[in-house]
Structure 1
């Protein structure tokens, strides 16, 4: 197997996924309410064994799953991806107790997970987050750091010997919020330390002081904001190590960025498939649209860009599976090229379809709304360019 071809078994699996998405998942997706977690859809993903496979597979398999599902049912793809994103830190960095408590529910589709990193003032600049974990027992003013916030939690003052904090602040643009059952939350435990002072916590949704609200967004999947008013957490809720949470976040994003590209490729392919069918039968000027060179050349460009993005996604995923040293750059390149390509392909498809593609409920109207967000979330396109440039210059200096 290379990064540039798939084995027959992989191709067959992708075809099976597309069929499952069309026959079993799309009907459930159509019954869902925009902006709300579709729990029957998540449960069906669990019954089909797809959620379990998210954690048992490598990056390439994850990409194949996301691309295949996206071609037939973007809602199913997104529900699967959000489960993986929210729970991967638990799978990779959680304690045995944390994994035993939450992962069975995630994989069978009865527990909904969410990845809570972004804030109103810290989106792409994840190291600038301000949600603060105050050592418990120290007074603080809501929304501000305690004067002695650099103190570590007191692990000796409590009979069970655990560190304790209170989370205060806000998270925003969080997928699956406020309806998730638990959140992977990134909070500042050491003020002024940048990326080195962030800790990842597993926070159940029923913790006192945690509230949320949905946001009315362009994308149809659920997105919300979370408010933390002294939410209690202990060392038993830490994912990984104290002050090492940024590594948890970046490790998760490096894995999922190529698969965001795969989601984009799936949408681009769906738009291309629709365009091929439409231009082959739509009459125009005594023939069909496909007979017009201007149209056929646009379709060729759509196919060219889609295939180039697909190959880069597969190459990045393979590099991730092999533990290559350039995974951050490859992941950034894959996400950047694929999401920008999908935007172009879907937009061109709408243009070639004309007014019918703008009608509510049309496949391309749906894709047009879906395709915009991936250029922003999990690191905007501009951030990906910054990552690529940083990695290139670091490589050059190391020679």
Structure 2
């Protein structure tokens, strides 16, 4: 279905066509890749060949644009998620895992890692959560300390995307009374990975342990105690792209439902014209277009100024992921028993939609933050 209700500037339309081509090229392996717990080699080789990951690094390190552009990332993720969650995650995590290097890394670290990230030669990961720590990241127990010109990292990170396949981890640690991000190459002695968990929509996931891991002092990203600021910079740039991925997934679900209900007849008419089915299809289209428009608006604002647009990115993320959940649920319903078939595309989309409402800020946590901003802004207006 063509995007007729919102026109992007030409450079984004060109990028959108390019990303759709990459997604289409992965269609034959998407079902397999979306059940994988390690990088699918075909998806990786096709994404590498496309050069699309250059979108998530700055131009001085071989990136597509002078700076990482939130709207460009969002447009690409929408196209990739339409076909494969594995493909979308592979692309997105290159930026999410490496952005703190762009913002806070030393010249040597940036030169070493960012160009390989943009060419997909080096796989990035961001290690924040721990076995007992999710949204409350200030409760983390992983530590970093300076010792003889090196940084020593100890701790246990859990539910880390790309764990096991990553070439480096950007690790959030306690440092004294503050928090710092530290770049740890995956092959550093003392780094180990286990896979105790998998989620309902499988992807590359694992726990990462750091046992007296030593890295050079310049592997601290930014100043000591600056970890949360760097995390916020990553969030401000990339959170809105989750909305783009949710729109792409919802669009794919609607296409599946349209295909099925247009071809299947009951009581002498196509399902698409029977009873409540037309309203469910139309309601899904309405919500998808609303989510797409909000996602593009928020992403364009984030591209101009990520920090002042963070509330818009949060609104788009919540809105689009909730809409994706509702859309896929409606599509399963109108497809009846065929929407319940294990191994079908709609079943895969149903499972993939659910985690979107949790990762990169759960709906409830984001709504709480938005409510605080709403009340604060209102109080300032009333003064």
Same fold (TM over 0.5): yes
SS in structure 2 at match of 1:331: helix
Q: CA RMSD in A?
A: 1.9
Q: What is the deviation of 1:229?
A: 1.4
Q: What is the deviation of 1:104?
A: 2.1
Q: What is the deviation of 1:28?
A: 4.8
1:18 to 15, 20, 27: 20
The size of the alignment, in residue pairs, is 366
The equivalent of 1:78 in structure 2 is 89
In the alignment, is the contact (CA less than 8 A) between 2:22 and 2:47 conserved in 1? no
In the alignment, is the contact (CA less than 8 A) between 1:173 and 1:223 conserved in 2? yes
Relative distance call for 1:392 and 1:4 in structure 2 (3 A) is farther
In the alignment, is the contact (CA less than 8 A) between 2:106 and 2:219 conserved in 1? no
The reply to whether residue 200 of structure 1 matches residue 211 of structure 2 is no
The equivalent of 1:341 in structure 2 is 323
Alignment of 1:89-238 (within 5 A): 89-136=100-147, 158=148, 162=149, 164-191=150-177, 197-214=178-195, 215-238=197-220
The equivalent of 2:304 in structure 1 is 322
Tell me, which stretches of 5 or more residues in structure 2 are unaligned?
Answer: 58-64
In the alignment, is the contact (CA less than 8 A) between 2:144 and 2:174 conserved in 1? yes
Q: TM-score, normalised by structure 2?
A: 0.90
Q: What is the deviation of 1:4?
A: 5.2
- Counterpart CA distance in 1 for 2:24 and 2:263 is 23
Relative distance call for 1:295 and 1:186 in structure 2 (3 A) is same
In the alignment, is the contact (CA less than 8 A) between 1:134 and 1:166 conserved in 2? yes
In the alignment, is the contact (CA less than 8 A) between 1:115 and 1:185 conserved in 2? yes
In the alignment, is the contact (CA less than 8 A) between 2:236 and 2:306 conserved in 1? no
- Counterpart CA distance in 1 for 2:113 and 2:43 is 19
Q: TM-score, normalised by structure 1?
A: 0.87
2:295 to 313, 326, 331: 313
Tell me, which stretches of 5 or more residues in structure 1 are unaligned?
Answer: 137-157, 192-196
Q: What is the deviation of 1:31?
A: 5.5
- Counterpart CA distance in 2 for 1:40 and 1:100 is 28
> Could you say which structure has the larger radius of gyration?
1
In the alignment, is the contact (CA less than 8 A) between 1:44 and 1:109 conserved in 2? no
Relative distance call for 1:104 and 1:167 in structure 2 (3 A) is same
In the alignment, is the contact (CA less than 8 A) between 2:179 and 2:228 conserved in 1? yes
Alpha-carbon deviations, 1:268-318, whole Å to 9, x = none?
Answer: 011111112221121011211122241101111111111111111111111
